[in-house]
């Protein structure tokens, strides 16, 4: 602040705020470096804060992704403004991504509302129709500087509006990937190699298996192309234990072993989606806090614990699973 006689003038410090980015550069560097970018689902302020604080401290590139259910729950305007606040408070690259968009209209709405990446999931349709719908979204998105993820193959499990039974699930057919990518112009591809949505990915007593042979063949068919893993939460057993200990009911919840996710990240997988682990961290922290502090009724008390738990699990994922910590400026 400068005073000139009786006239007061203010010299504003120009602060550079990194805008939202697409995943193009992120994925190029992730592929080259043998790591993956974490795509974390967001629903409210505390979840966003926990994720972004962890990514800032770990200097990791970040994808914040929003499902159709999250948009309905939190309101698209509130979500966008919270993400804008996160960007303003950060010095890392952040992409805002639509998770499992199920129509051209939804993808178009998100693009018009500032998303820098969208997923069109037309995997429930026949191959030719999946191509047609995906291509329509790609053409509109690219005209607006937005990148597109699509899905080939179908993951089992339940998450928000996604509900695929085991009998309807299908591994990705490597013979289809070249034609699909070439015909649609898509920027990244989610494939099915044995992961699944939700917290019950494998049956008790069975050995978790992922089809790394499919992943390898896909990457051989489309070398250098970014692959995405959905349904990749590891379902930390410490959270399962806390939830069950303090009144929850999550028997037999089993996720993807983290060493398998790290192996996938060293291959062609450039984006790994994580949602259930965040939900469990949040729920475990809240259940434990309320059980141990029955007189508390201020949401800031238990939601603060939830935010801390989310920050902890995200930091762990960035460092030990994804391998993207320290790569924000690549």
Which amino acids are annotated catalytic?
Answer: 99
Residue 52 CB partners (closer than 8 Å, separation 6+): 62, 64, 86, 89, 90, 94
Taking CB atoms within 8 Å and a gap of at least 24, the contacts of 210-213 are 210/256, 210/260, 210/264, 211/171, 212/263, 212/264, 212/267
What gap in Å lies between CA 204 and CA 317, rounded to an integer? 24
- Mapped onto helix, strand or coil, the DSSP state of residue 323 is coil
Residue 57's nearest CA partner among 321, 319, 300 is 319
Residue 212 in 3-state DSSP?
A: helix
Helices (H) and strands (E) counted in the chain, each on its own, are 12, 12
DSSP readout, 119-165?
Answer: EE--TTS-HHHHHHHHHHHHHHHHHTT-EEEEEESB--EEETTEEE-
Residue where the block lists tokens 């979204």: 137
The helix-helix angle for 212-221 and 258-266 (nearest 10°) equals: 20
Provide the 10 A C-beta neighbour count for residue 301: 13
Length of the chain as a residue count: 330
């Amino acid at each position: 602040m400068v005073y000139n006689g009786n006239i007061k003038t203010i010299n504003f410090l120009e602060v550079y705020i990194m805008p939202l980015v697409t995943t193009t550069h992120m994925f190029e560097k992730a592929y080259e470096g043998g790591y993956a970018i974490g795509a974390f689902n967001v629903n409210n302020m505390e979840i966003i804060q926990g994720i972004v604080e962890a990514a800032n401290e770990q200097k990791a590139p970040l994808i914040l992704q929003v499902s159709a259910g999250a948009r309905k729950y939190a309101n698209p305007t509130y979500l966008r403004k919270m993400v804008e606040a996160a960007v303003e408070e950060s010095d890392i690259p952040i992409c805002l991504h639509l998770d499992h968009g199920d129509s051209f209209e939804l993808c178009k709405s998100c693009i018009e509302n500032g998303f820098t990446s969208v997923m069109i999931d037309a995997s429930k349709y026949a191959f030719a129709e999946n191509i047609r719908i995906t291509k329509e979204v790609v053409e509109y998105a690219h005209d607006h500087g937005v990148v597109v993820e699509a899905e080939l193959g179908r993951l089992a499990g339940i998450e928000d509006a996604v509900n695929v039974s085991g009998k309807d699930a299908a591994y990705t057919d490597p013979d289809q990937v070249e034609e699909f990518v070439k015909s649609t112009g898509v920027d990244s591809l989610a494939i099915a190699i044995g992961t699944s949505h939700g917290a019950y990915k494998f049956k008790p007593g069975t050995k978790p298996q992922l089809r790394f042979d499919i992943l390898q063949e896909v990457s051989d068919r489309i070398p250098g192309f970014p692959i995405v893993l959905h349904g990749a939460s590891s379902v930390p057993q410490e959270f399962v234990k806390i939830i069950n200990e303090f009144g929850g009911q999550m028997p037999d919840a089993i996720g993807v072993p983290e060493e398998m996710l790290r192996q996938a990240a060293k291959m062609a997988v450039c984006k790994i989606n994580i949602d259930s682990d965040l939900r469990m961290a949040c729920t475990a922290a809240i259940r434990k806090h309320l059980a141990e502090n029955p007189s508390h009724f201020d949401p800031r008390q238990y939601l603060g614990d939830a935010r801390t738990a989310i920050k902890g699990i995200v930091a762990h994922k960035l460092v030990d699973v994804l391998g993207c910590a320290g790569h924000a400026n690549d």
